[in-house]
């Protein structure tokens, strides 16, 4: 699938001169960010938590993970919340937690894979954040999520089929993010550099007009 299939998000081109390098403008991104939150969205396994933590360190910003915060608020694991209360209960809590966290910028926020599907959550993110879609293809995601059995939506006899269906449903919505970056199978720090470059380009274009 080509980038143009993904709506209008700005897509980082890691091959472009000077972009995707360790010299990307971290100071500029932090300065332009103000009190906003960098919000990572995308499918399970795209790297929101792992890349997000490193991105926050690179930008010298706090890192917060919505899934972890939901678990803390409920004093239950995500699997337990799904098993005891069901998905709608989890989604309601997810929206409340993200609404609260968005008031704490500047920071980097890793959302859960389904959070950006909620239109109210997307609206709040657009108001006080800059959204970054970490994109990966099916094979990459399936290999990554197969490493751990901690994602309740994939605890089914056909996890590959579920993942494919979720991608078909969600990718057009993730494409509404401000920026899109390929979460390639390269060292995480390289993906971090690509995100910083994409954010820098997006903020220069949109905030300096
Ligand atoms: N760019 C990458 N290259 C190689 N491995 C990666 C990359 N990004 C993430 N991974 C690996 O994929 C796995 C899943 O990553 P991670 O937990 O960060 O995804 P996530 O988007 O937070 O998923 P979830 O929505 O389920 O919380 C981890 O083992 C992580 O190290
Ligand atoms: O993609 C999803 O819907 C989910 C992803 C995880 O981050 C968790 O938020 C939960 O397992 C649901
Ligand atoms: Mg995560």
| pLDDT for position 208 | 64
Asked which of 16-20, 158-162, 195-199 is least confident by mean pLDDT, the reply is 16-20
The model's pTM is 0.90
For residue 102 the two structure tokens come to 């968005």
Rounded Cα–Cα distance for residues 102 and 124 (Å): 8
Which has the higher per-residue pLDDT, 1 or 42? 42
Q: Which atom of ligand 1 is nearest to the CA of 47?
A: 18
> Which residues' Cβ are closer than 6 Å to ligand 2?
44, 67, 78, 112-114, 151-153
Per-residue pLDDT reduced to its tens digit, 118-129: 999 999 999 999
ipTM score for this prediction: 0.97
Rounded Cα–Cα distance for residues 163 and 206 (Å): 34
Rounded Cα–Cα distance for residues 76 and 163 (Å): 24
Q: Which atom of ligand 1 is nearest to the CA of 184?
A: 1
Distance (Å) from CA 17 to ligand 3 centroid: 31
Q: By three-state DSSP, how is residue 7 classified? A: coil
Average pLDDT, the chain: 89
| pLDDT for position 209 | 64
For residue 50 the two structure tokens come to 């792992």
Q: Which atom of ligand 1 is nearest to the CA of 40?
A: 21
Rounded Cα–Cα distance for residues 73 and 195 (Å): 29
Q: Are 154 and 114 within 8 A, CB to CB?
A: no
Look at ligand 2, atom 9, and give the residue with the nearest C-alpha: 112
Q: Which domain holds residue 163?
A: 3-207
In this structure, what CATH number is given to the domain that contains residue 33? 3.40.50.300
Q: Are 163 and 45 within 8 A, CB to CB?
A: no
Give the number of the ligand closest to the Cα of residue 53: 1
For residue 103 the two structure tokens come to 């008031």
Of 190, 144, 188, 161, give the one whose Cα is nearest residue 43. 144
Q: CA 74, 78, 81: angle at the middle one, nearest 5?
A: 60
Give the number of the ligand closest to the Cα of residue 47: 1
Distance (Å) from CA 131 to ligand 2 centroid: 17
Number of domains in the chain: 1
Per-residue pLDDT reduced to its tens digit, 150-192: 888 888 999 999 999 999 999 999 999 999 999 999 999 999 9
């Amino acid at each position: 699938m080509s980038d143009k299939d993904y709506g209008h998000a700005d897509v980082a081109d890691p091959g472009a001169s000077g972009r995707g390098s360790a010299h990307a403008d971290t100071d500029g991104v932090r300065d332009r960010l103000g009190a906003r939150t960098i919000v990572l969205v995308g499918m399970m396994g795209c790297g929101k938590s792992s890349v997000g933590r490193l991105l926050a360190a690179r930008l010298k910003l706090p890192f917060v993970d919505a899934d972890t915060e939901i678990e803390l608020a409920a004093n239950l694991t995500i699997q337990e919340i799904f098993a005891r209360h069901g998905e709608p209960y989890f989604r309601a809590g997810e929206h409340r937690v993200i609404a609260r966290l968005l008031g704490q910028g500047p920071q980097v926020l890793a959302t859960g894979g389904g959070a950006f599907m909620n239109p109210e959550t997307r609206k709040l993110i657009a108001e006080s954040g800059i959204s970054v879609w970490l994109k990966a293809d099916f094979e990459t995601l399936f290999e990554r999520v197969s490493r751990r059995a901690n994602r309740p939506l994939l605890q089914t006899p056909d996890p590959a089929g579920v993942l494919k269906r979720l991608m078909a449903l969600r990718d057009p919505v993730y494409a509404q993010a401000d920026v899109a970056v390929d979460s390639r199978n390269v060292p995480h720090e390289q993906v971090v550099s690509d995100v910083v470059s994409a954010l820098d380009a997006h903020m220069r274009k949109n905030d300096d007009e």
